[in-house]
Every structure is written in C-alpha cells, then in structure tokens.
Chains A and B, each alone.
Chain A
Amino acid sequence: MNETSTNSDAARRRPGRRRAKPNDDIGEGLRLRMFRSMLEIRHSEQRAYDLFLENLVKGTSHLSLGQEAVAVGFATAMRPGDLSFCTYRGHAHTLARGVPVEKVLGELMQRDNGLMRGKGGSMHLTSAEHGVMGSYAIVGAHMPIACGAAWRAQYKGRDDVAVCFFGDGTANIGAFHEALNLAAVWKLPVVFVCENNLYMEYTPIAEVTAVEHPAADRAVAYGLDKIVIDGNDADEVYRTAHLALAQARAGHGPSLIECMTYRHSGHSRADPGHYRPKGELEEWLKRDPIPLYRERLLQFGVTENAIVGIEDDVRRLVDEATEACKAAPMPPAEILTTDVYADGGWAWRN
C-alpha cells in the first residue's frame, strides 16, 4: 500500500486542507480536533481522579493519562459505522468517539445521568449510537467479539471496520491468539490495537513475555505485518490507523498495530505505581502526547491564542459536566431489574 497517496486521499476530504502548511498531510482542522479531543480526555480523567478523592467517583477506574494519542488518533481516522471495542481502560476511547463528558463522568459517579445509568460502571462504558460497542473487563474477551462484528460487516457486504483496543497484557491470554487466527483465516475487517504501556497491571510486561513486542511479534505468527509505532504521537497513530482501516475496508483483512505508550498513573485508582523504576515516569512525561502536540500545532502556525481558547473551552466543558453530574440524582430502584432479558424485564419463570 502506498502510504503517501492514501493519506493524500484522506487529506483531500478533510476540512482545513487549504489552510494547512506545505507537507501537512493531516490538515489544521483535523489537528485541532485531535488536540481538543486529547485535552477533553485528559481533563475528564484528571477530574475523575479528583472526584474519586472526594468520594464522588466510586468503585474502580483505570485511567489512560498519557495514552490519549492512541484513542484520539484512531477515533479520528474511524468513521461512523466503524465499531470500537474497548477494555476496562476505556474512558479515553469512549470520549474519543464523541460520547459527551457528562455521560462518562456520570457513569463514573454512578449517577442516573450516566451513560448506562450506573448499571455498567467505569469498566463497561458503552454507547452504541457512537459505535462504542462495549468496554470489556475480562482481559481478551472482546477480541473474538470484535471478530464477530467484523464478520457481520463482511457478511452483509458493508465496509465498516471493527477496531479492538487492548493492553500489552492481553497478548498473553488465549483469546488473543484465537481471535488473531480466526481474523486471519476469515480475512475479517478488524484492526487490533495494542496499547503497550509497558506494564500488565503491576508487573513489567517484559518480565512475563517471551518476545519483545507482546502483540506485534505474535501478529507475525498469524501472517500479519509487524507494526510498532510511537503511540504518543497522535499524527503517527492517525496515519497508521488510516492505512489499517483502508486495508480492512478494501477486503484485505485484519491488521495489528502495537502502540508504544505509557500510563502516567497506576494500573487502577488503588495503585500508586511504586514498582516503576526511578526516573522512568519523568522520561515519559517529557514525551507526554499533549504538550508534544501543542508544540506541533505552534510549529504548524496555529496561534497561541487559538490554543488557549481550546484549552479554556475544554476546561469549561469538563467543569460544567462535573456540576451537572453532582446535581444528578442517584439511579432509581426501578431500573435494578430492567434489561436482564430483551422483553425489558428479568422474569425467569411464570
């Protein structure tokens, strides 16, 4: 596949192309959109962390602080009809597909205004209308499910693509291998996206994995290309996503992309991340995808004023969403037993 021509095709369809600098294959409009989306995720998740300390976010939550470029690069390259399958670390992917901040924060705060009215929680964010077909908390389970959705697209002659996000730890579970094999054999329009943040929960992934790149090295065994990219560079993620999606749409089958990234916080809210070697976080903070991208916007001629405008805007949006969630009621008792079965109820006997 010719990377340059494909991206030019994409760029031609995108707003902002005319105003872009020479050699800017992505365009200002799209870049501003990606910047805004990354910021929205960052502020929402930082807010979730703060609200947890106030005992307003309950249960567990797994933040993507530092990993926003993967979610945003992919979501920006995806189009309506493409389906996202996320993990329990799925706030970023859900927001990136356009789900309102209030809906996500509401679910984390387990209020009635939440995305699933508190019935799913942080680990199961789902918004079918945005193509977010669930966040799955059993490691690897969603990889075969994404294959099934891709199979449906293939069966119906649709060119929609299923995109399945997962962590490095997932590459060591059986469902990963079963899904890759099935996707390859059936040539399914699915893109597997590994967010390699170097740790499977609390354990360095390298200590428990036979190969250097847990996902990409294994992909080769299923006849797929080994693709490893800088997951902190939203542009690189976007370009790679665009190619993989185009390949799937054209009927050329699945691909797997391993995005190297890093989570700035622990595995979950219970984890301070003390197992990380001294200085590692600081090194990765220098490659924080958001300041990097801010710098790039300036290089491409976006004004400081315009950037600050977006930053203020996003901050206000998250503040307003927070207040709306704080004011929202708790979910009512009558939804306890709804939607167990398709008739809307829970009756298992007459």
Chain B
Amino acid sequence: MAELTYRDAVARGIAQEMERDPDVVFFGEDVAAAGGVFKATVGLLDRFGPKRVRDTPISEQAIMGAAMGAAMTGLKPIAEIMFSDFIAVCYDYIANQFPKSRYMSNGQLGCPLVVRTANGAGVRFGAQHSQSVENWAMAIPGLKVVAPSTPLDVIGLLAAAVRDPDPVIFFEHKSLYPTKGDVPDGEIVDTLGSARIVRPGNDATILALALMVSRALAAADRLQAEHGIDCEVIDVRSLVPLDTQTILGSVARTGHLFTVEENPRLCGWGAEIMSIVADEAFYDLDGPLVRITTPHVPLPAADALEDMILPSVDRIAERVRQTLES
C-alpha cells in the first residue's frame, strides 16, 4: 500500500498497461519529454522509449485520427488531448469516427482506444480551459465515458479502459491531480460501468462525479452533523456504461435523489439519470428530483467568480436540506 497522488496514478496506470501489453502506445502534445503539462506522465518516456511514448505536434485531429487508425489495425493506443475543451477541435473523431466505424461496417472494424483528457474547473483558466464536457461524449452512441475521482480509480479504470475493446473517453479532473489516496501494490484493474456507494445513508441519494464527489461527501457530513440528515453518496464513475441498478437501488431505499454536476445545466449527465429514475422509479420517490449544476453560463476565470459558479459544499447542503424539509 502506498499513498499516491491522482497525478502519479495516471503514470502508474499507463505504465502498468504498457508493461503488460507491448501493443499499448501512448502519445499526445508534450506528453513524452516534458512529461505532460500537468506532469501526469513523467518518466514514461525513459521507461518505455520514444517508439512507444511519443510527442506529437499541436494537431488534435492528427492525434485522434492516428489513434483510430492504429486501433483499427491492432495497436492499443492511449492518446492524450491536453485539455478536454480541445475535444471541440477534433470532435469529428469523437462524434463521427470512433463510435460509428463498428456499426457502419457491420462489425468489421473496431476502435479499441483510450482518449485521456484533463477536464473540469478549479485552476482559474477561464472558459476555454476549464469546462466539464463529459456530456459531449455521453451523447454519442458507441463511446464509453469514464471519470475517476480517486488515485485508485484512475489506475483501475484506466486499466479497464485500455483493455476494453471499445473507444473510451477518460476524463481526468485537473483539480484532482494533486489530491492523494491509498493505492495497493500490484496490478489494479477495475470494471467499467460500476458506480460506487462512497457513503451509505438512508435519507437521500446524492450522485456525483470526479471533483464533485468530495464536495458531495463534505455536504453529506455537514447535513448529518447539523441537521441529522443521513445522505447516501454515490460516485457514478462511469457514465457509459451507466450503473443504473446501483442508482435505482439506492433511490428505492432513500426516496430522494440529487445530482451534483459540474457541467453546465442543459443536457448535463444528471438529466439523463433523472429521466431514467422518473420513468422507472417514480413511485419510490418522496420528493422532487433535484439537479445541482453549474449554471448555464461560460466559466469565468477569476477565482472568486469560479468558486461562486461551481456547485459548492454550501450549495449542495442547502439544496438538500431545503428539499427534504419542504
């Protein structure tokens, strides 16, 4: 067992998979010699050499396309898109190419690749380097979408993503890179499509993802201490495949459901989950379905403003309390 940062977990996860399978390659902008702009891939070039760990030009379409061509012919590429906002300049591959080739070819072609990307706010980079865009990927049939919240999950879910035969968009949260967590020694492999109950409770279910998990947990602690409200917090972890059974099972016990979403409000991931619950668990509910999201505005750069706009521990606790007490 060792304490590892989320940042170091990225490098360990990639290394674990490169060690296991010589067809795993890793590439992107500044990822090799520089070790990544977030220093999440330091040491991989030295360990695996320039044939397997490659710097690319600033060419997001070339990165994505090369990953796809390599994947469909037998390699297992891990490609990095430095900031998830940049998915917008290569969205063709996310929306039209990776997820459709298997279906359109009637199963002849596959696309077993992983795109890692730094998602989310908290580092004051403004509207084009801080977005949470997991819902951009979630909307496309054929993709899998993962967003880990702990160092252990980074390794386990990354390993699962690399071994998965489908294209996986792997959203790391850039504000979580310095956070720490315990990680056991040896090989770590998790399963895509399993949510985790990170705090059991009986009065309300709170779903969260990535950075929002720790805020939901802090809000749950406060609600317990100050109001005696016992919340269950679920780390969704994987948006596609989605572990609806864990969610529905929890709602059946608590009767109340909240989502804490960093993405802007319209068509955020929670909306889909709420629609499933409204459809399939309506008679389990004892109150309204409540989404706590970033408002539908671009992200401001200033720390004071950014702190106000993301769901905060205060806002989560207050909305849950109000809803349960009304």
B25: chain A residues within 8 A (beta carbon): 155
The answer to whether B62 and A128 have CB atoms under 8 Å apart is: no
Distance in Å from the Cβ of A103 to the closest Cβ of chain B? Answer: 11
Contact indicator per residue, chain A 307-350, by CB within 8 Å of chain B (1) or not (0): 00000000000000000000000000001001111111011111
> In the complex, which range does the number of interface residues on chain B fall in?
35 or more
Q: A145-B65, A155-B51, A339-B102 are in contact. Are A138 and B107 (CB under 8 A)?
A: no
- At the interface, yes or no: A75 with Cβ under 8 Å from chain B? no
- At the interface, yes or no: A237 with Cβ under 8 Å from chain B? no
Distance in Å from the Cβ of B84 to the closest Cβ of chain A? Answer: 19
- At the interface, yes or no: A16 with Cβ under 8 Å from chain B? no
The answer to whether A151 and B96 have CB atoms under 8 Å apart is: no
Q: List 11 A-B contacts (CB under 8 A).
A: A119-B105, A126-B108, A126-B109, A128-B109, A134-B109, A152-B70, A155-B70, A182-B56, A182-B59, A186-B54, A341-B166
Query: Closest 8 CB pairs between A and B?
Result: A144-B65, A148-B69, A342-B165, A178-B62, A148-B66, A178-B59, A339-B107, A149-B69
Secondary structure dominating the interface of B: mixed
- At the interface, yes or no: B223 with Cβ under 8 Å from chain A? no
The answer to whether A349 and B241 have CB atoms under 8 Å apart is: yes
Q: Please, which residue of chain B has its CB at the minimum distance from the CB of A335?
A: B106
Secondary structure dominating the interface of A: mixed
Q: A155-B75, A182-B57 are in contact. Are A340 and B92 (CB under 8 A)?
A: no
- At the interface, yes or no: A220 with Cβ under 8 Å from chain B? no
Query: Which of these binds chain A: B37-45, B242-250, B281-289?
Result: B242-250
A181 to B73, CA, bound (A): 21
- At the interface, yes or no: A63 with Cβ under 8 Å from chain B? no
In A123-163, the 8 Å CB interface with B consists of 124, 126-129, 133-134, 136, 138, 140-153, 155-156, 162
A312 to B141, CA, bound (A): 46
A116 to B141, CA, bound (A): 18
In the complex, which of the residues A115, A119, A343, A347 contacts B103, with contact meaning CB atoms closer than 8 Å? Answer: A119
Q: A338-B107, A348-B240 are in contact. Are A148 and B193 (CB under 8 A)?
A: no
Q: Please, which residue of chain A has its CB at the minimum distance from the CB of B244?
A: A349
Q: Please, which residue of chain B has its CB at the minimum distance from the CB of A120?
A: B104
Q: Please, which residue of chain A has its CB at the minimum distance from the CB of B60?
A: A178
The answer to whether A148 and B73 have CB atoms under 8 Å apart is: yes
Q: A335-B106, A344-B107, A350-B193 are in contact. Are A138 and B244 (CB under 8 A)?
A: no
B92: chain A residues within 8 A (beta carbon): 138, 141, 175
A residues with a Cβ closer than 8 A to B are 83, 115-117, 119-121, 124, 126-129, 133-134, 136, 138, 140-153, 155-156, 162, 174-175, 178-179, 181-182, 185-186, 335, 338-344, 346-350
In the complex, which of the residues B59, B69, B242 contacts A349, with contact meaning CB atoms closer than 8 Å? Answer: B242
The answer to whether A126 and B73 have CB atoms under 8 Å apart is: no
The answer to whether A350 and B104 have CB atoms under 8 Å apart is: no
In the complex, which of the residues B56, B102, B109 contacts A341, with contact meaning CB atoms closer than 8 Å? Answer: B102
B77: chain A residues within 8 A (beta carbon): 148
- At the interface, yes or no: B93 with Cβ under 8 Å from chain A? yes
The answer to whether A134 and B70 have CB atoms under 8 Å apart is: no
Give 15 new A-B contacts, CB below 8 A, not counting A146-B69, A182-B59: A115-B106, A116-B108, A126-B104, A141-B92, A145-B65, A145-B72, A147-B69, A150-B69, A178-B62, A335-B106, A342-B102, A342-B112, A349-B241, A350-B193, A350-B242
A350 to B192, CA, bound (A): 11
B75: chain A residues within 8 A (beta carbon): 151-152, 155
